[in-house]
Amino acid sequence: MAAHDLKSPLTLISGYANRIVKNTPEDSLERTNADKIVNSSNKMLSIINKLLNNSKYENQILNYEKLNIVDLINCTIKFYSDMAQNKKQKINFYYYSPEIFINVDKVSICTVLDNLLTNAIKYSPTNSHININLEDNGVSVKISIKDSGDGFTEKEIENLFTKFFPFKNKPTQGENSTGLGLYIIYDMVKKNNGKIDLKSKIGNGSEFILTFPKE
């Protein structure tokens, strides 16, 4: 059955369960069971949406253009600043020039930045730092995003960019994660003539490094 065929009945189930939640006492068994149905339905809908998005991204026609990556990163940080502030996290962005250009597809690169930054926020603890570094050596542009999470083993690093890789790490405040994000990132970076690397040690966070050729 196609993913979109599952979406309508799940949405209906979630809607009925939400109605039960709103109209039953908090301490009742019906309310407890309805809450479980809502949570499970929402998780399944999240996975289905990821599947549909993944299919869309895999078949997406890219429009390459000259873009200032500094502006894109700053916009991404601004968009997710409230999410970081809710966990009392500080996002540091280090760069030497306000204008560094690369030739990429805007939609896919923004998706990559969105995924990496939200992952850094979700998997880093409260009162932590997230560091973003931007370097330009004249031949290529390197973007690194380092979090303060639990890190990954060497075996996990080898499989991290495969579809539906089962994460051992969990978001620090129970945020949703399906395992599709990093697969999408890997695919999009590759389609933009770039590469992605990961440096990570258990207990010492993770650093995702994107490298793109100059314009």
pLDDT, tens digit, for every residue of 32-65? 888 888 877 776 776 666 666 666 666 667 889 9
Q: What is the pLDDT of residue 5?
A: 57
Please indicate, yes or no, whether residues 69 and 159 belong to a single structural domain of this protein. yes
- 97: which 2 tokens? 């020039």
3-state secondary structure 91-141: EEEECCCCCCEEEEEHHHHHHHHHHHHHHHHHHCCCCCEEEEEEEECCCEE
Q: Give the domain-ending residue among 13, 39, 58.
A: 58
Please indicate, yes or no, whether residues 42 and 105 belong to a single structural domain of this protein. no
Say which CATH number the domain at 197 has.
Answer: 3.30.565.10
Residue 112 reports pLDDT greater than 60: yes
Please indicate, yes or no, whether residues 177 and 89 belong to a single structural domain of this protein. yes
Exposure b/e, 26-60, CB count within 10 A at least 16 = b: eeeeebeebbebbeebeeebebbebbeebeebeee
pTM above 0.95, yes or no: no
Please indicate, yes or no, whether residues 42 and 131 belong to a single structural domain of this protein. no
Is-contact 204 140, C-beta < 8 A?
no
CA–CA separation, 26 vs 21, rounded Å?
A: 8
Mean pLDDT of 155-174: 67
Which of 73-82, 84-93, 147-156 bottoms out in mean pLDDT, i.e. has the lowest?
147-156
